[in-house]
């Protein structure tokens, strides 16, 4: 038969340029852009609020303890706590971004638009984690800029600063994805933040050197991955750290790798997303 079996489209058929696998730029970029737009639209809550909190810590702890403690020679106590406070904010905000975006989309039901799209698990992971990193970096940079008005802070190894920012924020973005996938209510995310992220980041050597801790506490600190992220990050500023920067790198990279792998696996299996 010569008759065409297909009807003629007056509208062009959709582009068939989609490869069967791999990462496609436009869909991934769109989701990344959407996630950034989302926190940008509520910047007062997502950027300004953590900035204020951090500055309060800086002022209160810096003044209260400033004259009495010296951790590294030539570094004032206030300067010492700035990188730790920065990284604490980076970690918390990276986590908050992906977790709150996911739980919100799940609770309101608009996750359906992502699920109906041809984005694969890898693309969703990359886009959402990247947006988490951006939020972490924006908050961290804002803290740095404001802190620089207030005190002198060296940045001796900027590359280390960058590496630990990416690993810390990336790992927390991935952890936020895991929490967001697992949680069914906002409450559970809040619980995650208040009972896990907050204490772990707070006790990760932001305000003191672990060498000043009693041995038992020191051991506990050493199983906290955030301790390594913060210590390595601080090394980038002062070229001094509690433990080897390479060990910090290894632990931070392992943390980011494990959370990323888990997040990707959960996304791929459709865990709590596709029944």
Partner 1 sequence: MSPPPAVWVSGLRKAYASHLALAGVDLAIPEGEFFGLLGPNGAGKSTLINILAGMVHRSSGRAEIFGFDVERDFRRSRQMLGVVPQELAYDPFFTVREFLRLQSGYFGLRHNDDWIDELMAELDLADKADANLRSLSGGMKRRVLIAQALVHRPPVVVLDEPTAGVDVELRQGLWRFMRRYNQEGHTVILTTHYLEEAEELCSRIGILQRGRLIALDAKDHLLARFTWRVLTVTFDKDPGPLPETLAGFLSGAGENTLVLRLDQSRHSLGAVLTALQDLPAQILDLHVQEPDLEDAFTDILGNMGLEQP
- Confirm or reject binding of residue 274 to partner 1 (CB under 8 A): yes
- Confirm or reject binding of residue 169 to partner 1 (CB under 8 A): no
Stretch that binds partner 1, among 13-21, 43-51, 151-159, 243-251 (CB under 8 A): 13-21
Q: Which of 2, 3, 12, 44 binds partner 1 (CB under 8 A)?
A: 12
Q: Find the shortest distance in angstroms from Cβ 19 to partner 1.
A: 8
> Angle formed by the axes of helices 245-269 and 225-238, to 10°?
130
- Confirm or reject binding of residue 251 to partner 1 (CB under 8 A): no
15-23, Cβ contacts within 8 angstroms, sequence gap of 24 or more: 18/118, 21/120, 22/122, 23/120, 23/122, 23/123, 23/126
Q: Which of 2, 20, 44, 73 binds partner 1 (CB under 8 A)?
A: 20
Locus of tokens 């973005």 = 173
> Angle formed by the axes of helices 225-238 and 158-182, to 10°?
160
- Confirm or reject binding of residue 19 to partner 1 (CB under 8 A): yes
- Cα separation, 257 vs 110, in Å, equals 29
- Confirm or reject binding of residue 11 to partner 1 (CB under 8 A): yes
Q: Of the candidates 194, 192, 190, 202, which has an alpha carbon nearest to the alpha carbon of residue 226?
A: 202
Cβ pair 92, 197 in contact under 8 A: yes
Q: Find the shortest distance in angstroms from Cβ 255 to partner 1.
A: 30
- Cα separation, 269 vs 275, in Å, equals 10
DSSP letter for 195, please: I
- Confirm or reject binding of residue 120 to partner 1 (CB under 8 A): yes
- Confirm or reject binding of residue 113 to partner 1 (CB under 8 A): yes
Residue closer to partner 1, measured from CB, 39 or 255: 39
Stretch that binds partner 1, among 27-35, 53-61, 135-143, 239-247 (CB under 8 A): 27-35
- Confirm or reject binding of residue 2 to partner 1 (CB under 8 A): no
DSSP, collapsed to helix, strand or coil, labels residue 162 as helix
DSSP, collapsed to helix, strand or coil, labels residue 90 as helix
- Confirm or reject binding of residue 14 to partner 1 (CB under 8 A): yes
- Confirm or reject binding of residue 116 to partner 1 (CB under 8 A): yes
Kindly list the residues in this chain that would bind partner 1 in the complex (CB under 8 A).
5-21, 24, 26-27, 29-31, 33-34, 37-38, 41-42, 105, 108-110, 112-120, 270, 274-275
């Amino acid at each position: 038969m010569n008759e065409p079996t297909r009807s003629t489209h007056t509208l062009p058929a959709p582009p068939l340029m989609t490869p069967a696998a791999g990462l496609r730029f436009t869909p991934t970029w769109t989701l990344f852009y959407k996630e950034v737009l989302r926190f940008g639209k509520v910047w007062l809550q997502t950027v300004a609020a953590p900035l204020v909190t951090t500055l309060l810590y800086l002022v209160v702890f810096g003044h209260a303890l400033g004259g009495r403690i010296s951790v590294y020679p030539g570094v004032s106590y206030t300067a010492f706590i700035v990188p730790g406070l920065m990284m604490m904010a980076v970690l918390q905000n990276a986590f908050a971004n992906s977790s709150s975006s996911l739980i919100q989309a799940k609770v309101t039901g608009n996750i359906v638009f992502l699920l109906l799209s041809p984005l694969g698990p890898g693309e969703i992971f990359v886009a959402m984690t990247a947006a988490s990193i951006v939020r972490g970096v924006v908050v961290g940079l804002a803290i740095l800029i404001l802190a620089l008005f207030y005190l002198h802070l060296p940045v001796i190894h900027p590359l280390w600063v960058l590496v630990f920012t990416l690993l810390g924020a990336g790992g927390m973005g991935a952890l936020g994805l895991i929490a967001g996938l697992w949680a069914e209510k906002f409450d559970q995310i809040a619980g995650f933040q208040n009972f896990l992220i907050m204490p772990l980041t707070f006790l990760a050597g932001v305000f003191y050197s672990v060498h000043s801790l009693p041995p038992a506490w020191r051991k506990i600190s050493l199983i906290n991955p955030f301790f390594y992220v913060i210590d390595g990050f601080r090394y980038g500023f002062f070229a001094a750290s509690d433990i080897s920067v390479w060990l910090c790198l290894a632990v931070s990279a392992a943390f980011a790798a494990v959370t990323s792998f888990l997040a990707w696996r959960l996304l791929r299996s459709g865990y709590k997303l596709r029944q």
